[in-house]
Structure 1
Amino acid sequence: MVHRMLAGFVALLLSSAAFGQGLQASPAISYTRDVQPIFTEKCVACHACNDAACQLKLEAAEGAVRGASKVPVYQGERSKAVAPTRLFYDAHGEAEWRKKGFYSVLDNQGSQAALMARMLELGHKTPLTPNAKVPDEIALGLNRNNMCPLPHEFDAYAGAHPMEGMPLAVTGLTDQEYATLRGWLAAGAPVEYQAIKPSASEARQIAEWEALLNRPGASEALVGRWLYEHLFLAHIHFTGGEQGHFFQWVRSRTPSGQPADIIATRRPNDPPGTEFFYRLIPVQGVIVHKTHITYPLGPQKLKRVKQLFYAGDWQVTTLPGYGPRHRANPFETFEAIPAVARYQFMLDNAEYFVRTFIRGPVCRGQIATDVIRDNFWALFQEPAFDRYVTDARYRGKATPLLAMPGQNDDVGSVLALWRAYRDKRNEYEKLRREAYADMPAPGWSTLWTGNDNALLSIFRHFDSATVTKGLVGDVPLTMWLFDYPLLERTYYQLAVNFDVFGNLSHQLQTRLYFDLIRNGAEVNFLRLMPAESRQGILSDWYQDSGKIKMWLDYENIDADTPSGLALSPHDPKHDFGLQLIARTASINASPDPINRCQGAYCSRPQMTEEFRNAEQSLSRLVSRPAAGLKVINQLPEATLLRIERQGGQRQVYTLMRNRAHSNVAFLLGEAYRYQPGLDTLTLQPGVMTSYPNFMFNVPAAEVPVFVDLMSQAKDDTARFERIVERWGIRRTHPQFWRYFHDLSAFILETDPVEAGVLDMNRYENL
């Protein structure tokens, strides 16, 4: 039963075309029918995306054939950038990847079996104790140093690490799965390459969109470039398209109607080097959640784009180039396109753009993410009240000041570059402060409320982060207010211009400038607060060493001009949050009776009685500081709760730990700014992370007992361990994979466009 459920989920994630052909009876082992489903179920959770262990990517046959590398993608201390190694982009075919230093894991080595076979054998013959903690000597998580042994190094590896075969530190393959993979490898590991192909409806829409972005003319070329640079990370899905089919924009040497010949530049705004065409190609392989940043296209979006960009009376005389200057300042590069069109396009799907830099490749690891608070809300400025959009003279003064660092990767110049761009940014903040002081006092109409993208909640999980529509949780400590210059800069700095294969200088400049972006978003929000309260609120955000940062690096705030909002003088920020919730109920995608319980009912009214009772009990854990709920100190960042009622129905919740800090203004030393007594928990229905840190499976009838024991556990590790032993799903749980993949199955049922295999690299050893 469990195997059939997982196989069904795997089938939906894989190519429908591939599975259609793979279902034919065959005595031989088929890669598509027999092998890839095993990889998807037992391997992809660790072997996918940029942080695939040893760069061994098993989402598709091309990754398995490519093999492994000793060079990690994430290596922030390197002094020189490394060559990109993006599957399907930077090389094609086994021979090309061998030239780039990848070695085979599938080929037999003389009398020795293939490296993959030996790794699987090591894991299969040394199983872990069921539902016990993984031995401490096995390093897990981001701190693990993957040794990536070459075939001739395997014996030494196995001798030194006898418990570290594959799958690593988790319930392994079944006997049948193991036999299938051994048989396939012994037969020479044959693969079939079965590319996903668009349906007839998708092909028609692809042709329409490619025709639009490739229209002749200078103005049309500039719009095509801007749209491409803003959608290159998107997994496009079409109105009326096939479930599980996604597409991505590329630049190709070949026009529509011909096979795409991808121009694989490091960044989407690097020089293409030749004539090119914008093309939409299918996303190949298994969809993994952490890279699955979705964007809808269809007839209404096509009409909207034409209305925004092609209906106005504007022209381009000379097209901009692709050099460092144009990469550093997109406001100058695209200044001919009306700013209102650019901003409104981003607002229409604001969650997509925020997700690209909150969940994208820059946000990997604690140092990358400690620039933001653990939870905050993001709001957007109405275009009609955005001075950059409405005032050409102001725009002309501001544009030269909006350039961003990261184009010069000379390690010795980091501090000089940082100071130069900091000063330029602060000059812009001064210009903005003075310009907005002459405008009417900001009120509720200052906030854009065009659709449910207008309200976003961001959660940091220590070494990753996520974003969702709606106002989730209690009123947070900080809020961000994006205007167009801030939203565009954030997107370009952290998505378009960020090079995951870059060196220390590039990545350090990116991280340092993000600190200024956060400060700018907070300062924008402060203008909504009463003038006399702004400095006090800012001081609360930047306690202790944060005050040094304010003095050293930040521009002064406007503490004089009035706000147009009527807010409580005792706690205006909290009052603003409550009024915001009340005023935006019609567009708030996440009404939250669990964390913002009012009265006796702390559950979603649409739930069955059993689940309402469960949510009522769980609400006792949330929005309480750790000083009164000591068990918070033993919980990881993102814990998944699977609540199951009799009959098999279940709901899934994410229990997020919000760590408190005196400030988040520095690159290093987070532990010194940590305020554990102020930590809180937020409970949100659904899966709110790509990286589950742990999971509990609790029968609905036992939720009150679970909550009671959690409340009583305090700092008593023995009590907490008893909770884990009773309801926890450890890495070694006999049914670990059933429960782990059921999280993805739940996404598939509740929000199918967003479904993908979750990552277990950060699943903790509780």
Structure 2
Amino acid sequence: MSYRVVISSVLLFLSWGAVAQDPVSGAAISYTRDVQPIFTEKCVACHACYDSPCQLNLGSGEGASRGANKSLVYDGERSQAAAPTRLFYDAVGKRAWQQKGFYSVLDAQGGQASLMARMLELGHKTPWPPNAKLPEDIVLGLSRENTCAMPAEFDGYASTHPNQGMPLAVTGLTDQQYQTLQRWLASGAPIDEQGLVPSAKESLQVVQWENLLNSPGARQSLVGRWLYEHWFLAHIYFKDGEPGHFFQWVRSRTPTGQPIDMVKTRRPNDDPGSQFYYRLWPVQGVIVHKTHITYPLSAAKMARVKSLFYSGNWQATALPGYGPQSRANPFATFEAIPAQARYQFMLDNAEYFVRTFIRGPVCRGQIATDVIRDNFWALFQAPEHDLYITDPNYRGQATPLLAMPGQNDDVGSVLSLWHDYRDKRNEYEALRRDSYADVPAPSWSTLWAGNDNALLSIFRHFDSAAVTKGLIGEVPQTMWLFDYPLLERTYYQLAVNFDVFGNVSHQAQTRLYFDLIRNGAEQNFLRLMPADSRDDYLDDWYQSSGKFKMWLDYESIDNDKPTALKLDEKDPKRDFAMQLLARYGDLNAKPDPINRCDGAYCSRPNIDPELQNAEQALSALTARPAAGLRVIDQLPEATMLRIESSSGTRVVYSLLRNRAHSNVAFLLGESLRYQPGLDTLTIFPGVLSSYPNFMFNIPAREVPAFVAAMENAKDADHFEKVVERWGIRRSHPQFWQYFHDLSRYIHETEPVEEGVLDMNRYENL
């Protein structure tokens, strides 16, 4: 820290007094009115959730006050589980957080300005040339090793990283924003933030739902526990609630009507220790897209829940306990609740449940996502065709085999635990295969078609993934068919039981079992294909080393029992997809003429003609392997295209790179299984990633030129010219305007889903 900056900070504090004033209006600076909006615009895109650099979360006053911590949340090598550091949950207040290893970024120390003030000053005095590529020595993305300099270490950091002040490697604060923050920091960084308060209508519904989940009686208590464990990740909203108001289910020592006293456990199904109540707590802080998994509650939903769970004459004679066995096998834990009710409840909002484990709140997902393909479709088995629902004898045999690993995190026992659970799972798969061989062959009625959650598309972007309703993109290499045992196991393994602060043993067991889940979903789907085609499909999905994995870990498939579907023998999977689209067109929430062009017209009807022409041009980039479209080699995983017509209408498209793999069956060595010549692109209107990797801004009339340039960009030099003409680099003067316009577009098209996007993965192209 220079002598000049120290003196200037002291003079600022003396001249402004203890109460900072806004540099324009002269009014006292308010954290809520003046500071948090700056953090939201320029900081939250990196500093939110568990993957926030140095755990500095600037989405709320509590997060800013908490400060930073050198410990990594994402550490795949730790032998001991880490103490959880969930904001608003594991501690409250600066002192409590400092006892957990956090240090202040707001407090002036040792006669020097605060750490934040110095980091902002370092960034403000080193602006970037407009829209220039940044120096290669600035490491970005998840491979960056943050030093997390403490106040006493700042001088060394600034000397070593003179051009890496804050905001990092991006167009920084305006002069006015910079002055506002520096004046606020110099005045002692007062925080006047108030917690979100529900409206009168919302408060009434909160009481109604809390009363339902806290109803007395063994049966009611068991249902309340099951519902809580299936809603704990949800951002609940009420159909007639206030825009932007969301709630989350928590366990509290205090009942409805009293302030919430949180029960703080690592998992939602850990032992609460004493009497508790299920409570709805307003979601605090800025809403960020990557953790924003929404779920609606309404009078109709209340009636549905009561119909599913509180009707009939089933009884719970005794409540199950909490502990490793109860966590490992929710099928046994909640055996008393009718399986049909449990499965139908999950089907009603299947997109939510798939999002919890595909998109998820853990912010960095490669430990799970490297087990799935880059794009696939998900379907669901109808309850009336699910033997676990319809056959008590089968259910009784299956339930003991459905336990999941991850409860014992002893590092030395990983392999033995894995083998035990693998063998148990394969015993279940053999039971399923043989039992389904004795029932009528699958037909179209096998597929659930109850609402628009029935057809889902999943896109993986290396270490993150997205889920959306409808069948998007070209017919994928694989499809998944969930039945109830598979859907529930996936949810419990990757959402309820997964501990982001867990050790290497816990994380390895989770990842290895998810591999079996994927294989099970693929096997379920293969039953729909002609019997003599199944081995060929499986060989295609598990090429090279995948064949060894099939021999080592997977139960053999049923390649005898026929399907009742009439499919083209030459390409039954594609024919299935085409018939699916035709048969369930009313449920396919998002028709896709850009990627599945039917005839001469490859654009959506009833949109601006200029945008129709743009979509027609963009369709030339889809469904083409990289061997013939070399620019794919240069593209990151998820690129956004902002296309604006001359009338001012603009549409955002996601340009997604679908990486091909010989197989996705192993924990390590993913890059060794890439098949880059087979990579393809999907282009679809909407923001299909919480983590944009890059963005192009293209006038609609220039889209044909953009497409032609992409087709001719056969190497990095040619692609750089595309970036220079249309790209929005991190240093672009209007970077933040364009970046946040992605969130505004979500607000315009799906307002409930809006949240600040993450730019930690925005690349330096």
User: Which residue does the alignment assign to 2:88?
Assistant: 88
User: Does the 8 Å contact 2:626/2:677 carry over to 1?
Assistant: yes
Which secondary structure does the structure 2 equivalent of 1:194 belong to?
coil
List aligned pairs for 1:74-153, cutoff 5 A: 74-153=74-153
2:751 matched residue in structure 1: 752
How big is the shift at 1:718?
Answer: 1.3
Aligned to 1:743: 742
Following TM superposition, by how much is the alpha carbon of 1:370 offset from its aligned partner in structure 2, in angstroms?
1.2
CA distance in 2, matches of 1:239, 1:653: 28
What letter is aligned with 1:763? Y
How much has 1:717 moved relative to structure 2?
1.4
Q: Counterpart in 1 of 2:420?
A: 420
Matched, 1:562 2:553: no
SS of equivalent residue, structure 1 residue 627:
coil
Distance 2:135 2:490 in 1: 42
5 Å-filtered alignment, 1:251-266, equals 251-266=251-266
What amino acid sits opposite 2:729 in the alignment? Answer: R
Helix, strand or coil at the partner of 2:723: helix
After superposition, residues 421-440 of structure 1 pair within 5 angstroms as: 421-440=421-440
Q: Residues 467-482 of structure 1 correspond to what in structure 2 (within 5 A)?
A: 467-482=467-482
Per the alignment, residue 726 of structure 2 pairs with: 727
| Residue type at the aligned position of 1:569 | E
Q: Distance in 2 between matches of 1:739 and 1:229?
A: 38
Structure 2 residues not aligned, in runs of 5+: 1-21
Of all paired residues, the percent bearing the same amino acid is: 74
Residue pair 2:63, 2:87 contacting (<8 A) in 1 also: yes
Give secondary structure in 2 for the equivalent of 1:320. Answer: coil
For residues 504 and 314 of structure 1, do their structure 2 counterparts lie closer, same or farther at Cα, with a shift above 3 Å needed? Answer: same
345-354 vs 570-579, which moves further = 570-579
SS at match of 2:611: helix
Q: What SS does the aligned partner of 1:726 have?
A: helix
Q: Which amino acid aligns with 1:400?
A: P
Structure 2 partner of 1:16: none
1: distance between equivalents of 2:527 and 2:409? 36
Which residue does the alignment assign to 2:705? 705
Contact 1:288 1:756 survives alignment (8 Å):
yes
For residue 27 of structure 1, report the CA deviation from its aligned partner.
Answer: 1.3
Asked whether the equivalents of residues 622 and 682 of structure 1 are also in contact (C-alpha less than 8 Å), the reply is yes
Q: 2:395 & 2:362 partners in 1: Cα distance?
A: 29
Partner amino acid, structure 2, of 1:736:
F
Compute the displacement of 1:366 (Å): 3.5
In 2, the alpha carbon distance for the partners of 1:533 and 1:56 equals 52
Q: Per the alignment, in what secondary structure is the counterpart of residue 453 of structure 2?
A: helix
CA offset digits 1:89-130 (Å, max 9, x no partner): 000111100100100000001210000000000101111222
1:321 maps to which residue? 321
Within 5 Å, give how 1:490-505 maps onto structure 2.
490-505=490-505
Counterpart in 2 of 1:284?
284
Aligned equivalent of 2:269: 269
Q: Distance in 1 between matches of 2:284 and 2:498?
A: 23
Distance 2:492 2:368 in 1: 16
Q: Measure the CA separation in 1 of the matches of 2:445 and 2:552.
A: 34
SS at match of 1:457: strand
What SS does structure 2 have at the residue aligned with 1:236? Answer: strand
1:562-613 CA-to-partner distances (Å, cap 9, x unmatched) read 1010001111111111111110101101111110001110000021101100
Does 1:693 pair with 2:674?
no
Contact 2:327–2:497 under 8 Å retained in 1: yes
Contact kept in structure 1, 2:367 and 2:507, CA below 8 Å: no
Matched, 1:580 2:580: yes
- Choose 125-134 or 306-315, whichever is displaced more: 125-134
- For residues 353 and 765 of structure 1, the distance between their equivalents in structure 2, rounded to whole angstroms, comes to 34
Match of 2:364 in 1: 364
Q: In structure 2, what is the equivalent of residue 238 of structure 1?
A: 238
Q: Is 1:362–1:368's contact at 8 Å kept on the other side of the alignment?
A: no
Aligned to 1:173: 173
Q: CA deviation at 1:253?
A: 0.3
Question: How many residues were matched structurally?
Answer: 743
* 2:342 paired residue number: 342
Mapped contact 1:744–1:756 kept (Cα < 8 A): yes
Q: SS of the counterpart of 1:643?
A: strand
Distance 2:540 2:312 in 1: 46
Distance, in Å, in 1 between the alignment partners of 2:368 and 2:552 is 21
Deviation of the 1:362 alpha carbon: 5.1
> Any conservation in 2 of the 1:473–1:682 contact (CA below 8 Å)?
yes
SS in 2 for 1:452: coil
* Structure 1 counterpart of 2:629: 629
Match of 1:65 in 2: 65
1:506-655 pair list within 5 angstroms: 506-655=506-655
Does the CA-based 8 Å contact 1:263-1:272 persist in structure 2? yes
3-state secondary structure, aligned to 1:519: helix
Mapped contact 1:531–1:560 kept (Cα < 8 A): yes
Structure 1: how far apart are the matches of 2:527 and 2:716? 45
- 1:223-263 per-residue CA deviation (whole Å, 9 max, x = no partner) reads 00000000000000001000000000000000000111110
Instruction: List alignment gaps of at least 5 residues for structure 1.
Output: 1-21
Q: C-alpha distance in 1, partners of 2:463/2:638?
A: 11
Which residue number in structure 2 is paired with residue 222 of structure 1? 222
Matching residue's letter, 1:741? H
The one-letter amino acid of 2:739's match is F
**What is the CA–CA distance in structure 2 between the aligned matches of 1:192 and 1:610, rounded to whole Å?**
48
CA deviation string 1:42-70 (max 9, x = no partner): 00000000101100001000000000000
Q: CA deviation at 1:264?
A: 1.2
Of 72-81 and 337-346, deviating more is 72-81
State how far apart, in whole Å, the 1-side matches of 2:260 and 2:671 are. 49
Cα separation, 1, equivalents of 2:489 and 2:38: 42
Corresponding residue SS for 2:627: helix
Give the secondary structure class of the aligned counterpart of 1:485.
helix
The separation in 2 between residues aligned to 1:149 and 1:368, in whole angstroms, is: 31
Letter in 1 for 2:252: S
For residue 28 of structure 1, what is the aligned residue in structure 2? 28
Asked whether the 8 Å contact 2:660–2:675 carries over to 1, the reply is: yes
Structure 1: distance between partners of 2:69 and 2:249: 27
Paired with 1:86 and 1:193, the residues of 2 have a C-alpha distance of 19
Contact 2:49 2:363 (C-alpha < 8 Å) held by counterparts: no
* CA distance in structure 2 between the aligned counterparts of 1:463 and 1:311, rounded to whole angstroms: 43
Partner AA of 2:338 in structure 1: P
Conserved? CA contact 1:363–1:369, under 8 Å: no
| 1:363 CA displacement | 6.8
Q: Distance in 1 between matches of 2:451 and 2:232?
A: 23
Say whether residues 1:155 and 2:158 are aligned partners.
no
Contact 2:51 2:363 in 1 (8 A): no
* Deviation per residue, 1:143-164 (Å, 9 max, x gap): 0011101100000011011111
Q: Deviations over 1:673-723 (max 9, x none)?
A: 111111000011010000000000000000000001101112x21111011
For residues 394-409 of structure 1, the aligned pairs below 5 Å read 394-409=394-409
SS in structure 2 of the partner of residue 48 of structure 1: coil
CA contact (8 A) 1:363 1:465 kept: no
Please tell me the residue identity of whatever aligns with 1:385. Answer: H
**1:368-383 equivalences in 2 (<5 Å):** 368-383=368-383
Cα shift at 1:331: 0.1
1:205 is aligned with what amino acid? Answer: Q
Q: Call closer, same or farther: CA 1:362–1:180 in 2, change over 3 Å.
A: closer
* CA displacement at 1:25 relative to structure 2: 7.8
**Which residue identity lines up with residue 306 of structure 1 in the other structure?**
K
TM-score (norm 1): 0.96
Q: Which one is further off, 646-655 or 660-669? A: 646-655
Query: What are the superposed Cα offsets for residues 274-313 of structure 1, whole Å, 9 maximum, x if unpaired?
Result: 1000000100111000000000000000000000000111
Match of 1:19 in 2: none
| Match runs of 1:654-669 below 5 Å | 654-669=654-669
DSSP-derived class of the 2:376 partner: strand
| One-letter amino acid of the counterpart of residue 754, structure 1 | E
CA contact (8 A) 1:237 1:296 kept: yes
Paired AA for residue 401 in structure 1: L
Alignment of 1:718 onto 2:706: no
1:485 has 2:485 as partner: yes
The amino acid of 1:48's aligned partner reads A
- By how many angstroms is 1:628 displaced? 1.2
Deviation at 1:26, TM superposition (A): 7.0
